[in-house]
């Protein structure tokens, strides 16, 4: 999120420093118990869940869904700038993924950056697969309940920063039965700060929590991300931002349906089609 000059204070700040930051507990969390995994090593846990996350990443690419984004800049309880968008991710009849905008009013906050949009698409629904594991250091911190789930808890941080590449830094909760991430709390990094001469353009990002739910009884898909944070800019002072992203209407595409008559296959249904938003339930963002 970037700060506009003081003469133009209507802006939006998306997705604070995240080397170590206080973790926000919720009523759904049990106490953190510093027990070691039972029947396996920490390395075994990491191997199993990163392999499962790789399977999930592949599977998620075969699903369409609706994404509802709302971001606000606040002065006290007053919203001074807002960005909203609802879009459907689907597939055409050739299996190509497409994005169809359903709702996009004129934003009153206009300082979202490319990094902000990339974070919404890629970092909020964070995965940590075998492909991504070499980029990160993981520290096992114990076991904790999330609702009725018993979870392994890890702190995650990038090993180093490559130019023009975004990372996640924070904490993840891994279900001890399905070996998938069911929740993550942290932020996208790196922040962009002023240079040593105090010049340049700051671009800061808030801490957020993403929750997942089990879809189709197998994999855990992101369903809700939320951020409520104060970004501390050197130029222009503090900015209070609040953001929510909902993922709904998950639907698997790419499967073929066999039609038979008297025991013989006579036709294959097409792989998928663009869903018509007019024929779907309209999950309008809450005001």
pLDDT tens digits for range 197-217 = 777 888 899 999 999 999 999
Residues of the chain predicted below pLDDT 70 = 1-27, 254-287
Q: What is the pTM of this model?
A: 0.79
| Joined tokens for residue 88 | 């459907």
**Average per-residue pLDDT for the chain:** 82
State the pLDDT at residue 259: 40
State the pLDDT at residue 19: 36
State the pLDDT at residue 197: 72
Whose structure tokens read 């396996």?
40
Domain positions in the chain are: 42-274
Q: 71-75, long-range: CB within 8 Å, 24+ apart, which pairs?
A: 71/12, 71/14, 71/109, 71/112, 71/241, 71/242, 71/243, 72/12, 72/109, 72/241, 72/242, 72/243, 73/10, 73/11, 73/12, 73/13, 73/109, 73/239, 73/240, 73/241, 74/240, 74/241, 74/242, 75/240
């Amino acid at each position: 999120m970037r700060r506009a000059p003081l003469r133009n204070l209507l802006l939006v700040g998306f997705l604070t420093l995240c080397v170590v930051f206080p973790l926000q507990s919720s009523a759904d969390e049990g106490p953190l118990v510093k027990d070691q995994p039972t029947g396996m090593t920490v390395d075994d846990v990491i191997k199993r869940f990163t392999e499962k996350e790789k399977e999930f990443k592949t599977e998620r690419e075969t699903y369409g869904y609706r994404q509802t984004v709302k971001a606000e800049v606040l002065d006290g309880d007053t919203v001074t700038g807002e960005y909203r968008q609802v879009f459907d991710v689907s597939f055409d009849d050739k299996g190509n993924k497409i994005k169809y905008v359903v709702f996009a009013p004129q934003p009153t906050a206009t300082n979202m950056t490319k990094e902000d949009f990339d974070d919404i698409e890629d970092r909020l629904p964070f995965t940590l697969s075998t492909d991504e594991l070499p980029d990160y250091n993981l520290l096992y911190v114990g076991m904790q309940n999330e609702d009725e789930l018993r979870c392994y808890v890890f702190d995650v941080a990038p090993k180093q920063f490559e130019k023009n590449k975004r990372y996640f830094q924070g904490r993840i909760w891994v279900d001890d039965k399905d070996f998938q991430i069911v929740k993550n709390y942290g932020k996208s990094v790196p922040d962009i700060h002023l240079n040593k001469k105090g010049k340049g353009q700051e671009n800061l990002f808030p801490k957020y929590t993403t929750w997942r739910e089990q879809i189709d009884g197998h994999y855990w898909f992101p369903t809700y991300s939320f951020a409520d944070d104060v970004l501390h800019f050197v130029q222009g002072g503090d900015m209070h931002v609040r953001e929510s992203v909902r993922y709904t209407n998950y639907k698997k595409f790419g499967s073929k349906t066999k039609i038979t008559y008297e025991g013989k296959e006579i036709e294959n249904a097409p792989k998928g089609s663009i869903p018509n938003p007019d024929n779907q339930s309209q999950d309008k963002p809450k005001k």
